[in-house]
Amino acid sequence: MNRRILSAITALVGLVVIALAVCSATVWRPSSTAQATLAQTPDQHYVVTEPGVLGLVDSAVTITATASDDAPVVLVVGHSSDVKAWLQSDPYVSVTGLSDWDALTSEDVTTSCPSDSATGSASAATTPSAVAAPSPTASTDAQGCTVLTATGADPTTSDMWIATKSGTSKVSLQMDATDPDLVVLAATDGSGNAPTLSLSWPRHVSTPWLVPGLVLGGLLLLVGVFRLLVDLQTRREDERRRAAAAERAARIASADLTSTAGIPAVGDPDRPLTRRERRDKERAEKAGGEWIDPRTGRVYLGGVESPAVPQAPVSAQVESITEEEAQAAVGAAMGSSVVPGLDEAATAAHRETRELEDGSPLSIVEPSDEEAQAQDVDETADEATESLAEVETTALSETREDEQADQPETSDEDEQADAEETVEQAKATEATDDEENK
């Protein structure tokens, strides 16, 4: 039982793993397009990507600039040095990278600081003077950086741009950003706030769990199904065996009446009957059939003990009687009287034994009905006994042909044939009986 549940669980887990693997490569597969947009609307006149941002995900990038209303929008692509040179002293929004898959990070560039070392020396040099003269110029902040002021220039017409695309409201531009030095500058017409920038790339999405998941899930499924099948087969085998046993038991039960009668087990006569024996007994009594007490071998018919029929063992009969004795007891073989060759003396002697004793005239005495019937029965019984004895004797005489040499050849042969026939008949009868018993 447990094994079956475990197999089912294994198969189920296999299915689940396969489903997960397939899902990981389909519904859970990340979008094959990564689109990242600026978090907030720029408050500078220009938006510029840093070098390398355009090719962050893939070299094939689609840049989209969206202005709030029907404002002119221009997207230009140029080398970073060109764009920086063009911007000169204008503040701008610098797009620095991705914060996640759909958001761009940006920072406002409003001051232009000299390189760090220059800043250090400059601040060291200018700080005392700044203290002396509190407001050196309006365009320099506390760190000595130049504050950038917007000029409102329109970048559209510059020769430096590798690609330019302008329109209204929304402009989209596809480009190959293999060169990391390429950057994009988005503006309206330079006099207003820049449009919102959005970058989208085809994204290489790998499905690392598909194949391992399929393999693992398939293995689990196979193992589970295999074990289930084995279990099923075992169960079927078990059922079959059980059914066979039941059938056998039923057959045995139905065959008990005849077959068990032949093998009475005589043992301790006082032991209690086994369950089966009791069942047999009850069944026999119910059916009114014969039941043999296995302890004693006594036969009961319809629950009543039937007297044992004394039966002399055939073998003993045969063994104890010699030929002479048999001859004497039974007399000459039946039918031998009609065989020619008996002399007149013997015939006479024979007839003499049958002669009426007192020579009284033949009188007809009417016997009572009862007597007559009894006589009939007796005669019939006698005849039956005689014929049985005859058969057996004949059978016995079979082996002693040579000793009956005095008898004529032909009759002897006839006799023998008859005897053989009879034996065969007996054997056939026996065989039939056996079959019936079975």
Query: Measured on CA atoms in the order 319, 323, 326, 328, is the torsion positive or negative?
Result: negative
Here's the x/- map for other proteins, 33-62, by CB under 8 A: it reads as -----------------xxxx--xx-----
Query: For residues 30 and 205, is the Cβ–Cβ distance under 8 A?
Result: yes
Type of residue found at 407: Q
Among residues 41, 207, 404, 411, the one that binds other proteins under rule CB under 8 A: 207
| Residue 372 contacts other proteins per CB under 8 A | no
Strand order in the sheet with 196-202: 163-168, 72-79, 182-187, 46-49, 92-100, 103-109, 33-38, 196-202, 60-66, 170-176
- Count residues contacting other proteins (CB under 8 A)? 48
| Residue 177 contacts other proteins per CB under 8 A | no
- Minimum separation from the CB atom of position 186 to other proteins (A): 18
Neighbouring C-beta atoms of residue 275, cutoff 10 Å: 8
Q: How far is CA 311 from CA 140, 307, 308, 314, 319, in A?
A: 145, 12, 9, 8, 16
Q: State the Rg of the chain over Cα.
A: 64
The CA angle 69-96-114, to the nearest 5 degrees, is: 110
Neighbouring C-beta atoms of residue 61, cutoff 10 Å: 24
Stretch that binds other proteins, among 5-13, 259-267, 368-376, 385-393 (CB under 8 A): 5-13
Q: Which one, 140 or 158, has the nearer CB to other proteins?
A: 158
| Residue 297 contacts other proteins per CB under 8 A | no
- Minimum separation from the CB atom of position 197 to other proteins (A): 15
Phi, then psi, of 104 in degrees rounded to 5:
-95, 145
Cα(106)–Cα(97) distance, integer angstroms: 7
| Residue 96 contacts other proteins per CB under 8 A | yes
The DSSP call for residue 403 is G
Q: Which one, 204 or 351, has the nearer CB to other proteins?
A: 204
Q: Which one, 219 or 329, has the nearer CB to other proteins?
A: 219
Stretch that binds other proteins, among 19-27, 108-116, 327-335, 395-403 (CB under 8 A): 19-27
Cα(53)–Cα(314) distance, integer angstroms: 120
Among residues 15, 24, 112, 126, the one that binds other proteins under rule CB under 8 A: 24
Cα(49)–Cα(343) distance, integer angstroms: 155
Give residues 65-94 in contact with other proteins (rule: CB under 8 A): 79-82, 85-86, 88
Stretch that binds other proteins, among 62-70, 152-160, 250-258, 370-378 (CB under 8 A): 152-160
| Residue 113 contacts other proteins per CB under 8 A | no
Among residues 39, 124, 125, 162, the one that binds other proteins under rule CB under 8 A: 162
Q: Which one, 10 or 260, has the nearer CB to other proteins?
A: 10
Cα(236)–Cα(255) distance, integer angstroms: 27
Q: Does residue 433 sit in helix, strand or coil?
A: helix
Residues ≥6 apart with Cβ < 8 Å to 37: 102, 103, 104, 196, 197, 198, 199
**In this structure, are strands 46-49 and 92-100 parallel, antiparallel, or unpaired?**
parallel
Stretch that binds other proteins, among 14-22, 125-133, 337-345, 385-393 (CB under 8 A): 14-22
| Residue 300 contacts other proteins per CB under 8 A | no
| Residue 213 contacts other proteins per CB under 8 A | yes
- Minimum separation from the CB atom of position 172 to other proteins (A): 21
Among residues 69, 100, 344, 355, the one that binds other proteins under rule CB under 8 A: 100
Phi, then psi, of 107 in degrees rounded to 5:
-145, 150
Cα(268)–Cα(231) distance, integer angstroms: 47
| Residue 332 contacts other proteins per CB under 8 A | no
| Residue 124 contacts other proteins per CB under 8 A | no
Place of tokens 């069942």: 279
Stretch that binds other proteins, among 133-141, 207-215, 368-376, 384-392 (CB under 8 A): 207-215
Stretch that binds other proteins, among 16-24, 121-129, 262-270, 430-438 (CB under 8 A): 16-24
| Residue 412 contacts other proteins per CB under 8 A | no
- Minimum separation from the CB atom of position 33 to other proteins (A): 13
Place of tokens 């950003």: 177
Q: Which one, 219 or 287, has the nearer CB to other proteins?
A: 219
- Minimum separation from the CB atom of position 58 to other proteins (A): 10
Q: Which one, 56 or 197, has the nearer CB to other proteins?
A: 56
Phi, then psi, of 300 in degrees rounded to 5:
-115, 140
Interface residue list for other proteins (CB under 8 A): 2, 6, 9-10, 13, 16-17, 20-21, 23-24, 28-30, 50-53, 56-57, 79-82, 85-86, 88, 96-101, 153, 157-160, 162, 180-181, 205-209, 213, 216
